[in-house]
Amino acid sequence: MTTSVIYGRYVLGMKAGEQVLLRDHYVYVNGTSIEAVTPDAPAAGTPVVRYEHSLVTPGFVNVHAHCIRGGLFRGIADDLEMEPWVPKLVYTILLPLTALAAKELTAEELRAVTALGMIDLVRGGTTTVLDMWHHGQEIFFDVAKDIGLRTVGAPFIMSSSNARIGPDGYPVWDFGNDGHAQLAKSIALFKARDEGREGLAQVAIGPHATDTCLPELLRDCRKAADDLDCLVTTHFAQTPQELALLRTRYGMGAAEYARDTGLLGERVVLAHAGCATDAELGELAATGTHVANCAYSFAREGMNFPYARFAKAGINTAIGTDSIGMDIVSELRINGLLSKQYFGKAHFGTAHELMRAATLNGGKALNRPDLGRLEAGAKADLLVFDLRKPHLQPVFDPIKNLVWKGNGADMAFAMIHGKPVVKDGRLLTMDEEKVMETAAAGARKIWKIAEERGILPAMPA
């Protein structure tokens, strides 16, 4: 029995494997899947989710995020003057704050901080997220279930500990902690919590990065993922310091090291890859390796890792939000502008390309051909944007209007796995006010301890 019908003045549907804009169509949902996308109206009296000036799109597939960190680090990293920026941010601020949070947050505060990040994701249009977090934060899956968010969880696995910045400004690690124990935890987590394609929760193997994992650990991570038939995801070629370490320690470039340790292939999602050479990007493309592009996260430090560079290399490039901004529409606009600036051409990073990256490409990266598309048989994950707004009218091309003029706040309705989670712009599944209050109290507690220990400067009055 059909359970839901959604009307769209514009529907981003499918034809011959490609996305096409359909005018005045209905999306019929049966249970957790789409039954049909058709111009045929339902029988008289059938309830219809209807916004007269609506654009219906697939739900966004966000292939790299750290939602637990989103609220804890909000407003801290922006505009900081330090060099080298990423290593100092990660090893003198983010990792120490993460360690404090693991120790000092109560269970209620951790739940609220996690929920805040997920609510931010959903309100930004994410219906599926591949998220990396630390072992000990398995509450991630419980909170996601309460909110109704589709997730792929990839807890960090690391060979290094006591990460810090050396006197030359380069990161220093103490290698040798038991990363294999963390891998064993991830394998056990997969067996306990992975629900497969018919559920909302999946588990991936998540070695932290090429520079924080020893080669034997990376190889064993890949073997475990092959045995479990799941994805591998890791940070890759995100800083010059990372590449220098690989050269010094192993005598290899980033792609060569990835190939040697099993981090290339169709079941691998590499986050960032912005410091890879053009030749290395060609190797990623040739092996079918996917890239999670998070341009906004790096643009704030003055680095341009644009979508169009990876797409031009032939790589299946999908979109992630990292932990800086969870609004996918804003991420697409920033990414498009950076792509145009990088190549000096207006036709690079078009709105329609970017929309495919956030939907179809994301589903492909996660090996989920049932995600990121509106057609019969796909999962019923969809968004309805209300275009009846001064900044979105009049409409010549609704995709261009949304990407270049819109934002997540224009989303009126969201459905995940056949269930409404946002209606009339209001989250249906959780008390946002309570979440914000508890999460803010937890974050301020961590910031205060960090200030006392010299990790953060004094908070503004």
Which residue in 267, 266, 158 sits closest to 204, CA to CA? 267
Residues of the chain with pLDDT under 70: 1-2, 461
The bridge status of strand 201-203 relative to strand 171-175 is unpaired
Number of domains into which the chain is organized: 2
Distance from C-alpha of 392 to C-alpha of 110, rounded to nearest angstrom? 38
Strand 426-427 and strand 419-423: the pairing is antiparallel
Task: Kindly state whether residue 84 falls inside one of the protein's structural domains.
Answer: yes
Nearby residues of 363 by Cβ (< 8 Å), 6 or more positions away? 61, 369, 370, 371, 372, 373
151 and 22 co-located in one domain? no
pLDDT for the residue 131: 98
- Tell the burial category of 347 from Cβ atoms under 10 Å away from its Cβ (0-12, 13-18, 19+): exposed
Q: Is residue 443 a part of any domain in this protein?
A: no
Query: Residue 318 is which amino acid?
Result: A
Look up residue 451 and give its amino acid: E
Q: Are 270 and 388 found together in one domain?
A: no
The domain that holds 14 is classified in CATH as 2.30.40.10
Do residue 103 and residue 240 come from a single domain?
yes
Helix (H) or strand (E) holding 377: none
Is the same domain home to 100 and 17? no
Co-location of 269 and 386 in the same domain:
no
Are both 211 and 288 inside the same structural domain? Answer: yes
Question: And the tokens for 429?
Answer: 């599944």
pLDDT at 83: 81
List the CATH number of the domain containing 179.
3.20.20.140
What is the pLDDT at residue 151?
A: 98
- From 333, 365, 397, give the residue that closes a domain: 365
Burial class (CB in 10 A: 0-12, 13-18, 19+), 136: exposed
pLDDT on residue 153: 98
Domain-ending residue, one of 335, 365, 395: 365
Tokens of 263: 């981090």
Identify whether 436 is part of a domain: no
Domain that holds residue 387: 4-58+377-427
Contact 386, 426 (CB under 8 A): no
Residue 452, number of CB atoms within 10 A of its CB: 10
- Tell me if residue 206 falls in helix, strand or coil: strand
Judge if the upstream peptide bond of residue 155 is cis by omega within 30 degrees of 0.
no
Supply the pLDDT for residue 157. Answer: 97
Q: To which residue do tokens 């959780």 refer?
A: 430
**β partners of residue 235:** 209, 271
Count CB neighbours of 460 within 10 A: 5
Rounded Cα distance between 272 and 237, Å, is 7
Task: Tell me whether residue 461 is in a domain.
Answer: no
CA distance 42 to 47: 9
Return the pLDDT at 78: 84
Write phi, then psi, for 79 (nearest 5 degrees).
70, 15
Residues 76 and 214 in one domain: yes
- Map residue 87 onto helix, strand or coil: helix
Residues 83 and 149 in one domain: yes
Kindly state whether residue 259 falls inside one of the protein's structural domains. yes
Helix (H, G, I), strand (E, B) or coil at 409: helix
C-alpha dihedral sign at 18, 371, 416, 311:
negative
Considering the domain architecture, whether residues 316 and 388 belong to the same structural domain is answered as: no
Regarding whether 409 and 357 lie in a shared domain, the answer is no
pLDDT reported for residue 2: 63
pLDDT at residue 4, as a whole number: 96
78 inside domain: yes
In a domain, 186, yes or no: yes
State whether 120 and 267 are in the same domain.
yes
Task: Identify whether residues 304 and 294 lie together within a single domain.
Answer: yes
Whether the CB-CB separation of 1 and 44 falls below 8 Å is answered with: no
The Cα angle at residue 362 between residues 414 and 256, in degrees rounded to 5? 155
Rounded Cα distance, 403 and 44, in Å: 35
pLDDT at 461: 63
